[in-house]
Amino acid sequence: MTHTEERFDAAGLDKWTEEQSFEVTQERIAEYAAATNDPIPAHLAGTVAPPVFAIVPVFNALTEPALEVVPLNWFGFVVHGEQDFVFHRPIEPGDVLTSRAKMIGFEGKPNGSSGITLLETRNQNGDLVNEQYVTLFIRGKDTGEKAGAEAPGHRFPEELRSEEPVAVVKQHVDEDQTFRYGPAAGDPMPIHLDEEVAKDSGLPGIIAHGLCTMAFTSWAVLTEVGGSDVSRLQRLAVRFAKMVLPGQDLTTTIWRGKSENGVTTYHYETTVGDTVVVKDGLAEVRD
Protein backbone atom coordinates (compact mmCIF):
# COMPACT_ATOMS: atom_id res chain seq x y z
CA MET A 1 0.00 0.00 0.00
CA THR A 2 1.28 3.46 -0.86
CA HIS A 3 0.39 6.37 1.37
CA THR A 4 1.73 9.79 2.27
CA GLU A 5 4.54 10.40 4.73
CA GLU A 6 2.20 12.25 7.05
CA ARG A 7 0.15 10.31 9.57
CA PHE A 8 -2.51 10.83 12.18
CA ASP A 9 -1.02 11.20 15.67
CA ALA A 10 -2.46 8.47 17.90
CA ALA A 11 -1.05 10.26 20.96
CA GLY A 12 -3.78 12.86 20.50
CA LEU A 13 -6.62 10.37 20.97
CA ASP A 14 -8.84 10.35 24.08
CA LYS A 15 -7.91 13.84 25.21
CA TRP A 16 -10.99 15.81 26.29
CA THR A 17 -11.16 19.46 25.28
CA GLU A 18 -11.95 22.17 27.79
CA GLU A 19 -15.67 22.49 28.47
CA GLN A 20 -17.63 25.08 26.52
CA SER A 21 -20.84 26.66 27.76
CA PHE A 22 -24.00 27.50 25.82
CA GLU A 23 -27.21 29.07 27.12
CA VAL A 24 -30.33 27.89 25.29
CA THR A 25 -33.03 30.44 24.48
CA GLN A 26 -36.53 29.99 23.13
CA GLU A 27 -35.72 32.37 20.28
CA ARG A 28 -32.66 30.36 19.16
CA ILE A 29 -34.65 27.12 19.14
CA ALA A 30 -37.44 28.70 17.11
CA GLU A 31 -34.93 30.18 14.65
CA TYR A 32 -33.35 26.77 14.11
CA ALA A 33 -36.72 25.09 13.58
CA ALA A 34 -37.76 27.70 11.01
CA ALA A 35 -34.39 27.39 9.24
CA THR A 36 -34.96 23.65 8.73
CA ASN A 37 -38.62 23.94 7.62
CA ASP A 38 -39.62 21.97 10.70
CA PRO A 39 -43.45 21.75 10.90
CA ILE A 40 -43.69 20.58 14.53
CA PRO A 41 -45.47 23.33 16.56
CA ALA A 42 -43.44 22.88 19.76
CA HIS A 43 -40.21 23.32 17.81
CA LEU A 44 -41.43 26.37 15.92
CA ALA A 45 -42.59 27.92 19.20
CA GLY A 46 -39.19 27.24 20.75
CA THR A 47 -40.62 25.37 23.75
CA VAL A 48 -38.44 22.31 23.06
CA ALA A 49 -35.52 21.90 20.66
CA PRO A 50 -35.60 19.77 17.51
CA PRO A 51 -33.19 16.82 17.79
CA VAL A 52 -30.48 18.08 15.41
CA PHE A 53 -30.38 21.40 17.30
CA ALA A 54 -28.04 19.41 19.57
CA ILE A 55 -25.23 20.26 17.13
CA VAL A 56 -25.52 24.00 17.86
CA PRO A 57 -24.06 24.02 21.41
CA VAL A 58 -21.12 21.83 20.34
CA PHE A 59 -20.37 23.32 16.93
CA ASN A 60 -17.29 25.25 18.03
CA ALA A 61 -15.87 22.11 19.67
CA LEU A 62 -16.08 19.96 16.52
CA THR A 63 -12.67 20.81 15.10
CA GLU A 64 -10.60 21.20 18.27
CA PRO A 65 -9.99 17.48 19.04
CA ALA A 66 -8.94 16.80 15.44
CA LEU A 67 -6.18 19.40 15.77
CA GLU A 68 -4.47 16.97 18.16
CA VAL A 69 -4.56 14.13 15.63
CA VAL A 70 -4.94 15.23 11.99
CA PRO A 71 -2.10 16.96 10.07
CA LEU A 72 -2.98 20.62 9.65
CA ASN A 73 -2.55 20.65 5.87
CA TRP A 74 -5.14 17.86 5.56
CA PHE A 75 -7.99 19.97 6.91
CA GLY A 76 -8.82 21.31 3.45
CA PHE A 77 -9.79 17.76 2.46
CA VAL A 78 -12.14 17.13 5.40
CA VAL A 79 -15.84 16.39 4.84
CA HIS A 80 -18.55 15.36 7.29
CA GLY A 81 -18.99 11.64 6.75
CA GLU A 82 -21.45 10.45 9.41
CA GLN A 83 -23.39 11.83 12.37
CA ASP A 84 -24.82 9.81 15.25
CA PHE A 85 -26.82 11.39 18.10
CA VAL A 86 -27.68 9.50 21.29
CA PHE A 87 -30.35 11.43 23.22
CA HIS A 88 -30.89 11.20 26.98
CA ARG A 89 -33.24 14.16 27.39
CA PRO A 90 -34.55 16.99 25.17
CA ILE A 91 -32.93 20.42 25.10
CA GLU A 92 -35.21 23.14 26.47
CA PRO A 93 -35.10 26.94 26.87
CA GLY A 94 -33.17 27.95 29.96
CA ASP A 95 -30.77 25.03 29.78
CA VAL A 96 -27.16 26.01 30.35
CA LEU A 97 -25.22 23.32 28.53
CA THR A 98 -21.58 22.39 28.84
CA SER A 99 -19.91 20.35 26.12
CA ARG A 100 -16.57 18.68 25.65
CA ALA A 101 -15.07 16.55 22.89
CA LYS A 102 -12.30 14.10 22.14
CA MET A 103 -11.15 12.14 19.12
CA ILE A 104 -11.46 8.45 19.92
CA GLY A 105 -10.17 6.65 16.81
CA PHE A 106 -9.16 6.73 13.17
CA GLU A 107 -8.62 4.45 10.21
CA GLY A 108 -6.70 4.93 6.98
CA LYS A 109 -7.74 3.54 3.60
CA PRO A 110 -6.43 4.19 0.07
CA ASN A 111 -9.34 6.50 -0.82
CA GLY A 112 -9.12 8.46 2.40
CA SER A 113 -8.98 8.34 6.19
CA SER A 114 -11.77 8.56 8.73
CA GLY A 115 -11.59 10.00 12.23
CA ILE A 116 -14.17 9.63 15.00
CA THR A 117 -14.91 12.41 17.46
CA LEU A 118 -17.06 11.87 20.55
CA LEU A 119 -18.87 14.84 22.06
CA GLU A 120 -20.91 14.91 25.23
CA THR A 121 -23.27 17.58 26.49
CA ARG A 122 -24.56 18.04 30.05
CA ASN A 123 -26.99 20.49 31.57
CA GLN A 124 -26.57 22.80 34.57
CA ASN A 125 -27.42 19.91 36.91
CA GLY A 126 -24.67 17.73 35.47
CA ASP A 127 -27.19 15.44 33.76
CA LEU A 128 -26.11 13.93 30.45
CA VAL A 129 -28.23 15.47 27.67
CA ASN A 130 -26.74 13.82 24.61
CA GLU A 131 -23.70 12.15 23.12
CA GLN A 132 -22.58 12.57 19.52
CA TYR A 133 -20.29 10.52 17.33
CA VAL A 134 -19.00 12.59 14.41
CA THR A 135 -17.12 10.82 11.63
CA LEU A 136 -14.83 13.05 9.60
CA PHE A 137 -13.56 11.81 6.26
CA ILE A 138 -10.31 13.17 4.78
CA ARG A 139 -10.55 12.70 1.02
CA GLY A 140 -7.59 11.06 -0.69
CA LYS A 141 -5.37 10.98 2.40
CA ASP A 142 -4.35 7.57 3.76
CA THR A 143 -2.95 7.68 7.28
CA GLY A 144 -1.83 4.09 6.78
CA GLU A 145 -3.03 2.64 10.06
CA LYS A 146 -5.96 2.11 12.39
CA ALA A 147 -6.06 3.11 16.05
CA GLY A 148 -8.53 3.63 18.86
CA ALA A 149 -12.27 2.97 18.89
CA GLU A 150 -14.88 2.82 16.14
CA ALA A 151 -18.20 4.65 16.06
CA PRO A 152 -21.33 2.56 16.76
CA GLY A 153 -22.75 0.93 13.63
CA HIS A 154 -26.01 1.88 11.92
CA ARG A 155 -25.96 0.04 8.57
CA PHE A 156 -29.19 -0.30 6.64
CA PRO A 157 -30.52 -3.89 6.69
CA GLU A 158 -30.82 -4.66 2.98
CA GLU A 159 -33.48 -7.31 3.59
CA LEU A 160 -35.93 -4.50 4.48
CA ARG A 161 -36.05 -3.40 0.83
CA SER A 162 -38.39 -6.29 0.09
CA GLU A 163 -40.88 -4.89 2.62
CA GLU A 164 -43.28 -1.98 2.25
CA PRO A 165 -42.02 1.22 3.91
CA VAL A 166 -44.10 2.66 6.73
CA ALA A 167 -43.77 6.19 5.36
CA VAL A 168 -42.52 8.19 2.38
CA VAL A 169 -42.02 11.91 3.02
CA LYS A 170 -41.55 14.51 0.27
CA GLN A 171 -39.60 17.63 1.22
CA HIS A 172 -38.23 20.68 -0.59
CA VAL A 173 -34.94 22.49 0.06
CA ASP A 174 -35.57 26.19 -0.45
CA GLU A 175 -33.34 28.39 -2.57
CA ASP A 176 -32.46 30.47 0.50
CA GLN A 177 -32.17 27.50 2.86
CA THR A 178 -28.43 27.80 3.49
CA PHE A 179 -28.68 31.53 4.22
CA ARG A 180 -31.26 30.81 6.91
CA TYR A 181 -29.58 27.71 8.28
CA GLY A 182 -26.05 29.14 8.56
CA PRO A 183 -26.88 31.86 11.14
CA ALA A 184 -29.39 29.66 13.00
CA ALA A 185 -26.83 26.88 13.42
CA GLY A 186 -23.81 29.13 13.90
CA ASP A 187 -22.17 27.58 10.83
CA PRO A 188 -20.42 30.23 8.69
CA MET A 189 -18.67 27.86 6.23
CA PRO A 190 -18.50 29.77 2.91
CA ILE A 191 -19.22 26.77 0.63
CA HIS A 192 -22.81 27.04 1.91
CA LEU A 193 -23.07 30.81 1.50
CA ASP A 194 -20.75 32.00 -1.28
CA GLU A 195 -21.21 30.75 -4.85
CA GLU A 196 -17.72 31.72 -5.95
CA VAL A 197 -15.99 30.06 -3.00
CA ALA A 198 -18.05 26.91 -3.54
CA LYS A 199 -17.08 26.71 -7.22
CA ASP A 200 -13.43 27.41 -6.40
CA SER A 201 -13.65 24.37 -4.10
CA GLY A 202 -14.70 22.18 -7.01
CA LEU A 203 -18.41 22.18 -6.17
CA PRO A 204 -21.22 22.96 -8.64
CA GLY A 205 -22.20 25.92 -6.47
CA ILE A 206 -23.55 26.51 -2.98
CA ILE A 207 -24.44 23.22 -1.30
CA ALA A 208 -26.79 22.57 1.59
CA HIS A 209 -25.36 21.91 5.04
CA GLY A 210 -25.31 18.18 5.73
CA LEU A 211 -26.79 18.73 9.17
CA CYS A 212 -29.60 20.79 7.67
CA THR A 213 -30.46 17.83 5.46
CA MET A 214 -30.26 15.59 8.54
CA ALA A 215 -32.65 17.94 10.35
CA PHE A 216 -35.11 17.48 7.47
CA THR A 217 -34.89 13.71 7.94
CA SER A 218 -35.36 14.08 11.70
CA TRP A 219 -38.71 15.82 11.42
CA ALA A 220 -39.77 13.37 8.71
CA VAL A 221 -39.16 10.56 11.21
CA LEU A 222 -40.77 12.35 14.14
CA THR A 223 -43.92 13.37 12.30
CA GLU A 224 -44.44 9.96 10.71
CA VAL A 225 -43.46 7.47 13.43
CA GLY A 226 -42.69 9.50 16.57
CA GLY A 227 -45.93 11.36 17.22
CA SER A 228 -44.05 14.66 16.71
CA ASP A 229 -42.64 14.13 20.23
CA VAL A 230 -38.88 14.69 20.41
CA SER A 231 -38.73 13.17 23.90
CA ARG A 232 -39.42 9.76 22.31
CA LEU A 233 -36.34 9.90 20.08
CA GLN A 234 -33.48 7.93 21.60
CA ARG A 235 -31.00 7.82 18.74
CA LEU A 236 -30.63 9.33 15.26
CA ALA A 237 -27.77 8.42 12.92
CA VAL A 238 -26.97 8.93 9.22
CA ARG A 239 -24.23 8.65 6.66
CA PHE A 240 -23.91 11.57 4.25
CA ALA A 241 -23.64 10.03 0.78
CA LYS A 242 -24.00 12.89 -1.74
CA MET A 243 -24.34 16.66 -1.69
CA VAL A 244 -27.73 18.38 -1.69
CA LEU A 245 -28.29 21.62 -3.58
CA PRO A 246 -30.71 24.44 -2.78
CA GLY A 247 -33.91 24.06 -4.77
CA GLN A 248 -33.83 20.26 -4.84
CA ASP A 249 -36.61 17.94 -3.68
CA LEU A 250 -35.94 15.24 -1.08
CA THR A 251 -37.74 11.95 -0.56
CA THR A 252 -37.23 10.24 2.79
CA THR A 253 -38.35 6.61 2.91
CA ILE A 254 -38.76 4.92 6.29
CA TRP A 255 -38.92 1.21 7.10
CA ARG A 256 -39.83 -0.35 10.44
CA GLY A 257 -37.21 -2.56 12.05
CA LYS A 258 -37.22 -4.43 15.35
CA SER A 259 -39.05 -3.56 18.57
CA GLU A 260 -37.32 -4.44 21.83
CA ASN A 261 -37.68 -3.25 25.44
CA GLY A 262 -40.15 -0.51 24.55
CA VAL A 263 -38.07 0.92 21.68
CA THR A 264 -38.75 0.51 17.96
CA THR A 265 -35.94 0.89 15.45
CA TYR A 266 -36.63 2.52 12.09
CA HIS A 267 -34.27 2.56 9.11
CA TYR A 268 -34.40 5.17 6.37
CA GLU A 269 -32.70 6.78 3.42
CA THR A 270 -33.16 10.06 1.60
CA THR A 271 -32.92 10.56 -2.13
CA VAL A 272 -32.88 13.35 -4.70
CA GLY A 273 -34.45 11.73 -7.73
CA ASP A 274 -32.67 8.39 -8.05
CA THR A 275 -29.59 9.53 -6.11
CA VAL A 276 -29.21 8.52 -2.46
CA VAL A 277 -27.98 11.56 -0.53
CA VAL A 278 -28.45 10.25 3.03
CA LYS A 279 -27.94 6.56 3.65
CA ASP A 280 -27.84 4.18 6.61
CA GLY A 281 -30.39 6.32 8.42
CA LEU A 282 -31.40 4.94 11.80
CA ALA A 283 -33.88 6.19 14.37
CA GLU A 284 -34.66 4.58 17.71
CA VAL A 285 -38.07 5.67 18.97
CA ARG A 286 -39.56 4.93 22.38
CA ASP A 287 -43.00 3.34 22.08
Paired sense of beta strands 146-148 and 96-109, if any: antiparallel
Q: What is the mean pLDDT of residues 29-54?
A: 98
Q: Which residue segments constitute the domains of the chain, with CATH numbers given?
A: 10-286 (3.10.129.10)
Residue 140 has pLDDT above 60, yes or no: yes
pLDDT digits (tens, 9 = 90+) for 188-200: 888 898 989 888 8
Q: Using CA atoms in the order 57, 59, 60, 62, what is the torsion angle rounded to 10 degrees?
A: 130
- What is the per-residue pLDDT for 282? 98
Q: b vs e for 33-55, b when ≥16 Cβ sit within 10 Å of the residue's Cβ?
A: bebbbbebebbbebebbbbbbbb
- The pLDDT-based confidence of 202 (bands split at 50, 70, 90) is confident
Q: Among 220, 212, 230, which residue's Cα sits nearest to residue 267?
A: 220
User: Which range among 108-112, 140-144, 215-219 has the greatest average pLDDT?
Assistant: 215-219
Higher pLDDT, 236 or 80: 236
- Residue 148 pairs in a beta bridge with 105
Number of neighbours of residue 21 by Cβ within 10 angstroms = 10
| pLDDT for residue 2 is more than 70 | no
pLDDT at 149 over 70: yes
Residues paired with residue 86 on neighbouring β-strands, in sequence order? 131, 235
Tell me how far apart the terminal alpha carbons of the chain are, to the nearest angstrom.
Answer: 48
Q: Considering only 22-26, 90-94, 172-176, 193-197, which range has the smallest mean pLDDT? A: 193-197
What is the arithmetic mean of pLDDT over 69-75? Answer: 90
| pLDDT of res. 4 | 44
